Amino acid sequence: MKSKLFIFMFVFGIFFAACEEDEKSDSNDDKKVEENGLTEEINNFLPDSIITEMEDLGMILNTGGSPSDVTGTYEVTPFILDSSNISSDYSGMAFADLRFKLYDQNNEDLTIKVDYVNGPEEGSGLGSFIVGEGNEFTVVSEVTTVAYSDTAVAAMVFSGELQDDGINEFYYANFMIENNGSSYFIKNGQGRVIYDSDGFSDKVSSLKSIEKDISNKSLKSATGK
């Protein structure tokens, strides 16, 4: 009888320890994100009004504290408008292909770095934040973007589902924070949700953009008018 009781208590002890470890892991993940599933830093940067506007326009925001390793370089093409709060935009509007590199991902503090090229605009070493669960992720960057001799500050958001050779259902949101009076960029508070219209963004070997001669697509960036 004692032997059976010992075995039962031993098995129960292992089960309890495993549950406690799972709860501890869940608790640690919960500490990384706030009630809406985003980090404190993201919530401080993006006001509720912008988050709501993005979601109303159809932007997917994947939340949570345990994203997979998404490091790599990706190409988004065809890069087509999904929705916008800019009156001059129209359905099917095309933009220059987007290439971006994600690297230095740190899931302890949910940070990541971003380089990107989009038409005449480019950025490198952007300190960004990442959230998500498993292969579904969202990256949020505060971007100082340069086009010709003009600069602007915008919120840039990437979302998608990681696959072995790329990203499935890639969506991108870009909202202007400060255009510094430039006539090239969209107005402050304006924004777009753009997506990879063929549903898949391939992993590529280089950030260098390969321009395609398709209408004026290569001349239009996501933050241009």
Residue 224 domain-assigned (yes or no): no
* CA dist 193 → 32, 37, 56 (Å): 27, 20, 10
Cis peptide before 78 (omega within 30 of 0): yes
For residue range 43-58, what is the model confidence (pLDDT) as tens digits? Answer: 998 888 889 999 999 9
Least confident segment among 72-81, 115-124, 214-223: 214-223
pLDDT at 170: 98
Asked if 118 and 48 sit in the same domain, the reply is yes
Q: Same domain for 136 and 65? A: yes
User: In total, how many domains does the chain have?
Assistant: 2
Same domain, 23 and 54: no
pLDDT band at 121 (very low <50, low <70, confident <90, very high): confident
Q: In this structure, are 128 and 152 located in the same domain?
A: yes
Nearest to residue 141, comparing CAs of 168, 104, 92?
Answer: 104
Instruction: Give dist(CA 138, CA 10) in Å, integer.
Output: 42
**DSSP label at 215?**
T
pLDDT one-digit tens code per residue, 55-113 = 999 999 999 999 999 999 999 999 999 999 999 999 899 999 999 999 999 999 999 99
- Supply angle C-alpha 84, 88, 94, rounded to 5: 65
Same domain, 151 and 194: yes
Regarding whether 72 and 104 lie in a shared domain, the answer is yes
d(CA 71, CA 221): 24
Q: How far apart are CA 11 and CA 60, in angstroms?
A: 43
- Does residue 151 contact residue 145 with C-beta atoms inside 8 Å? yes
Q: Are residues 52 and 100 in the same domain?
A: yes
Q: Which of 154, 126, 184 minimizes the C-alpha distance to 50?
A: 154
45 & 28 share domain: no
> Which of 41-45, 120-124, 212-216 is the least confident region?
212-216
Do 83 and 149 sit in the same domain of this protein?
yes
* Least confident piece of the model among 5-9, 41-45, 168-172, 208-212: 5-9
86 plus 17 within the same structural domain: no
17-28 tens-digit pLDDT: 455 555 544 444
CB 106 within 8 A of CB 112: yes
Q: Considering the domain boundaries, does residue 225 fall inside one?
A: no
pLDDT band at 189 (very low <50, low <70, confident <90, very high): confident
Domain that holds residue 20: 1-32
Whole-model pTM: value is 0.80
Q: Are residues 18 and 46 in the same domain?
A: no
In the prediction, which pLDDT does 3 show? 52
Q: What is the CA radius of gyration of the chain?
A: 21
d(CA 176, CA 195): 18
Same domain, 26 and 128: no
